[in-house]
C-alpha cells in the first residue's frame, strides 16, 4: 500500500455573517389564480391597498362564475379569457380554501377601511378645531407666526374632505381659484400614512395680459405645505415647508 508522504488537516471555519440560510420572502399577490387551491399568506397582502384587496376578493368570485351587479366590475372581468359567467349566482359554490381566502381578505379590507375612516375623522376634527378655536397646539401643530395660522385656516376652508377620491394608497382633493389677479392652489394629498395640506400661488391670472402695472407681490409665486402623519390611530403635525 502506498502512503502519502504528507498528512493534511483541513479546518473549515464558519464565521458569523459568512454563511446564512436564505430567508423566504412571500411575494406580493397580484392575482388570485392560485386562490382556489392555496391559502393566502399575510405577507402576500401586507402592502396591498384597499382597491387591490377588493379586486382580489372579487376575482375569487369571478373565477367561480359569479355575476356582478356593478357594471364596472362586470366589465372588468368580462374581458378575462378565463371568466365564464354562471347561469345563476345561486349555483356558485366555494371550496373550503376559497371560503377561508374570502374571509381572510374581508378581514384585511375591514382593517384598511377602518384605518381610512379614522384618518379622515382626524382630519375633519383638526379642521374643525383650527377653524373654531384659532389656537395653536392642535395635534402638535404650533404656527411659526400669525400668518401661518391664517394661511392654514384659509386653506382648510377651501378643502372639502367629503370629496376626497382614492386610488390605491393615495387620496387627493385639489381646487384652483382664479380671482382675476392670481391663481391660488389648495390641495390635500394623502399617501399611506403621510398627509400634506398645501396652499400655493402659482402665478398671475390668464385674464391679465400686461402685468407691468400690477404690484409684483400680488402675483409672486409661493407655497406653504403642512405635513402630518397618521400612524397607529394617532394624528400629528410634523412640519411646515414654505417656499
**Structural domain spans, the chain:** 42-116, 134-242
Q: What is the dotted CATH code of the domain comprising 42-116?
A: 1.20.58.1690
SS3 24: coil
pLDDT bin (cut points 50, 70, 90) of residue 19 is very low
Per-residue pLDDT of 222-237, as tens digits, reads: 899 999 999 998 999 9
Query: Mean pLDDT across the chain, nearest whole number?
Result: 87
The pLDDT assigned to 38 comes to 97
How far is residue 141's CA from residue 144's CA, in Å, rounded to a whole number? 9
SS3 33: coil
Label residues 89-110 b or e (16+ Cβ within 10 Å = b): eeeeeeeebbeebbebbeebbe
pLDDT bin (cut points 50, 70, 90) of residue 53 is very high
% the chain with pLDDT above 90: 66
The pLDDT assigned to 25 comes to 54
3-state DSSP helix/strand/coil % of the chain, to nearest 5 = 35, 20, 40
Q: Which of 117, 126, 125 minimizes the C-alpha distance to 226?
A: 126
Find residue 239's DSSP bridge partners: 227
Residues 64, 93: contact at Cβ < 8 Å?
Answer: yes
The pLDDT assigned to 219 comes to 78
Q: Which of 85, 81, 104 minimizes the C-alpha distance to 35?
A: 104
In Å, how far from its chain's centre is CA 45? 14
Mean pLDDT along residues 16-36: 71
Mean pLDDT along residues 120-126: 94
pTM for this model (two decimals): 0.81
Per-residue pLDDT of 169-226, as tens digits, reads: 999 999 999 988 889 999 999 999 999 999 999 888 888 887 777 777 777 888 999 9
Amino acid at each position: 500500500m502506498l502512503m502519502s508522504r504528507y498528512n493534511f488537516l483541513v479546518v473549515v471555519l464558519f464565521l458569523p455573517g459568512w454563511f446564512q440560510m436564505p430567508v423566504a420572502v412571500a411575494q406580493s399577490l397580484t392575482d388570485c389564480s392560485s386562490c382556489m387551491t392555496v391559502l393566502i399568506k399575510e405577507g402576500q397582502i401586507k402592502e396591498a391597498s384597499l382597491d387591490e384587496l377588493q379586486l382580489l376578493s372579487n376575482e375569487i368570485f369571478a373565477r367561480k362564475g359569479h355575476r356582478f351587479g356593478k357594471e364596472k366590475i362586470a366589465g372588468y372581468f368580462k374581458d378575462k379569457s378565463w371568466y365564464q359567467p354562471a347561469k345563476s349566482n345561486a349555483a356558485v359554490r366555494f371550496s373550503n380554501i376559497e371560503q377561508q381566502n374570502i374571509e381572510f381578505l374581508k378581514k384585511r379590507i375591514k382593517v384598511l377601511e377602518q384605518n381610512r375612516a379614522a384618518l379622515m375623522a382626524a382630519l375633519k376634527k383638526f379642521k374643525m378645531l383650527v377653524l373654531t378655536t384659532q389656537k395653536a397646539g392642535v395635534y402638535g401643530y404650533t404656527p411659526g407666526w400669525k400668518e401661518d395660522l391664517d394661511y392654514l385656516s384659509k386653506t382648510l376652508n377651501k378643502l372639502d374632505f367629503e370629496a376626497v377620491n382614492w386610488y390605491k394608497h393615495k387620496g387627493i382633493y385639489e381646487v384652483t381659484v382664479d380671482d382675476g389677479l392670481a391663481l391660488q392652489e389648495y390641495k390635500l394629498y394623502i399617501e399611506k400614512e403621510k398627509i400634506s395640506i398645501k396652499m400655493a400661488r402659482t402665478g398671475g391670472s390668464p385674464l391679465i395680459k400686461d402685468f407691468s402695472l400690477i404690484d409684483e407681490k400680488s402675483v409672486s409665486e409661493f407655497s406653504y405645505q403642512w405635513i402630518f402623519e397618521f400612524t397607529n390611530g394617532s394624528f400629528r403635525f410634523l412640519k411646515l415647508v414654505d417656499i
